[in-house]
Amino acid sequence: MTRIKKSMVVVAIAAGLAGSFAAGTLVNSPAATVQAQMQHHHHMERHGVIKRGAHLLYRAIKVLSHGKHDFGGHRIAAIKDARMALMQCHAALKFDRH
């Protein structure tokens, strides 16, 4: 798998994890209100989607790092790939400053 495809897969996995984390916090909120708040937040903040994704990747790395089961090396590989995706998010933000 190419590096770009691998990064895209990691970002997709991170987005899924982000959705899982968000679902737990948004269960009791009306959907329309939550959606409006998220859209407002992302429009107000420059590159809010990338920054939020980077934050969620950081949280995913932290959670995965505390795991006790190795899962045949897949947990460690997921941490490595999530770190790579986090670096890509930071690189994207730096790229926009040029």
DSSP 4-21: HHHHHHHHHHHHHHHHHH
Residue 61 has pLDDT above 90, yes or no: yes
Q: How many CB atoms lie under 10 A from the CB of residue 53? A: 20
Query: Which of residues 55 and 17 earns the better pLDDT score?
Result: 55
The pLDDT, as a whole number, for residue 5 is 63
* Residue among 74, 75, 57, 73 nearest 65 (CA): 75
Angle, to 10 degrees, between the axis of helix 3-26 and the axis of helix 74-97? 100
pTM exceeds 0.85, yes or no: no
Token pair, residue 3, equals 């590096």
pLDDT of residue 47: 85
The secondary structure of residue 46, as a DSSP letter, is T
Return the number of other C-beta atoms located less than 10 Å from residue 73's C-beta. Answer: 8
Q: Which amino acid is at 76?
A: I
* Residue 84 in this model has a pLDDT that exceeds 90: yes
